[in-house]
């Protein structure tokens, strides 16, 4: 079994394992090739994962919202959490469209589509 571990650049796949797989198969070996990089990225760049992130950030924020005042360190933590919540909400709204770019050969090779 050949395994590609996470994390690798999804735009530039690691080609050594498929090449090695081809050589081994042509020599008569049974080869199982698993790209855990793709599986991992598909799992973390998903609605389900971002919903968990959003819920976690909201719980974190809620512990500050009922305090009468925030210390200087807490103000920064609170601000960062709010900023991250905005980012996660954006990701939730766009993740499926973003993933479709990597699955559609007609736009995969158009880097402008990535942004």
Q: How many domains does the structure of the chain reveal? A: 2
Do residue 81 and residue 107 come from a single domain?
Answer: yes
What string of DSSP letters covers 6-28? Answer: S---TTS---HHHHHHHHHHHTT
Look at residue 111 and give its three-state secondary structure: helix
Do residue 49 and residue 12 come from a single domain?
Answer: no
Do residue 15 and residue 69 come from a single domain?
Answer: no
**Tens digits of residue pLDDT in 20-43:** 999 999 999 999 988 887 788 888
Do residue 55 and residue 98 come from a single domain?
Answer: yes
Rounded to two decimals, the pTM is 0.66
Do residue 50 and residue 91 come from a single domain?
Answer: yes
Do residue 9 and residue 30 come from a single domain?
Answer: yes
Do residue 61 and residue 114 come from a single domain?
Answer: yes
CB-based contacts of 43, cutoff 8 Å, min separation 6: 49
Give the CB-side neighbour count of residue 13, counting CA atoms within 13 A. Answer: 13
Question: Residue 47 has what pLDDT?
Answer: 93
Q: Is the per-residue pLDDT at 114 higher than 70?
A: no
Do residue 23 and residue 53 come from a single domain?
Answer: no
Do residue 91 and residue 50 come from a single domain?
Answer: yes
**Tens digits of residue pLDDT in 75-100:** 888 899 999 999 999 999 999 888 88
- Tell me the residue range of the domain where 27 lies: 1-44
Look at residue 3 and give its three-state secondary structure: strand
Q: Which band of pLDDT confidence, cut at 50, 70 and 90, is reported for residue 113?
A: low
Do residue 28 and residue 54 come from a single domain?
Answer: no
Supply the DSSP symbol for 66: T
């Amino acid at each position: 079994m050949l395994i590609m571990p996470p994390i690798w650049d999804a735009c530039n796949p690691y080609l050594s394992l498929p090449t090695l797989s081809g050589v081994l198969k042509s020599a008569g070996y049974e080869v199982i090739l698993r790209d855990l990089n793709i599986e991992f990225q598909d799992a973390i760049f998903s609605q389900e994962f971002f919903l968990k992130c959003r819920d976690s950030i909201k719980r974190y924020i809620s512990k500050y919202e009922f305090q009468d005042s925030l210390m200087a360190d807490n103000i920064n933590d609170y601000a960062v959490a709010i900023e991250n919540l905005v980012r996660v909400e954006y990701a939730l709204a766009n993740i499926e469209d973003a993933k479709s770019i990597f699955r559609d050969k007609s736009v995969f090779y158009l880097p402008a589509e990535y942004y």
